[in-house]
Structure 1
Amino acid sequence: MEKMLLLILLIISGCSHHNVTDDEVIKHYYDNSVLYNELAKQSCSQFEDLASGEIVEITSNDKKYPIIANNLKQLERDSIYIDRRDGECSLQLIYFGEGAFNAVNVFYLNFNLKNPKLYDDKTDKASVRDKMERYYFDMPLSNGWYFSYETY
């Protein structure tokens, strides 16, 4: 279900021709790191009782959680996915996604990842990964946040 929703969103966003770079995502995070840290604090404390494996999506228009929604608007993000596994809060925001059924590229900002596939400067740079059909990495940023990239 989550993959299908992501695919639909990516098909829609794929109509734009904005080329996102790793540096753009990283700069956006660091320019807004205080707000991202506040978003993590608010989201994780708001959903302390979330059942393990349950995922909650909050959009920037959500009336039930106005503080989180307002932070999403300030960050110019559409939604956040909140998850708890083994009592630990994890967050995911899609920075940008594009593609269609067999070629999808997604740039994420993730918080508190379990078992990240750490970025390697030699093998994970865009010029290398752009030639791959399936690819994934997680680049540590700060305070538990990661820039993640996936192509499938």
Structure 2
Amino acid sequence: MSKLDGNERWKSKMLMTEHVQQYEQKQGGEVRRMITVEERTMVRDLILLPYLDTMVSKSLREIELSGSILQRAFMIAGQAIQQRIMDDTHQLQKELKRRNIRVVADEQDEFLVYYKIFCRGYQERFGLTRDVMRTEISLRLTRYTAELRALLRNQQGATP
């Protein structure tokens, strides 16, 4: 039993609004320090996009050396996809920097690639298996190709 238990003034426990706001900001700040699922997805995409860019660059070199009659069309499509990859990478870097999140390559194993995530004062180790990377890269490339296809269809429908 404390000295204040019998005192009726302390039953309401009134707080000044400034104190409530400071408390809520502090509590919200503690929760916000940890990385969210959305931010983790952004980190994953930031890790995968350079691999995808390398794959597209390699394919563009192969197309350049081929004697295909559609060489020019493939080159234009590949360059458009590569530009979209670079734009997405830049946007992710900008957004993660705004959120005070930094990603650094850590180590590579036969089947795993590890990165360190520095997020608002916390450090976390993030690993991706090569199979997951392949799958995600394939899905992302499919999405870019579908976007390019939709863009071409829209342009085709817009011209008489």
TM-score (norm 1): 0.31
TM superposition score normalised by structure 2: 0.30
Q: Which has more strand, going by share of residues?
A: 1
Relative to its length, the structure with more helix (as a share) is 2
CA radius of gyration, larger in: 2
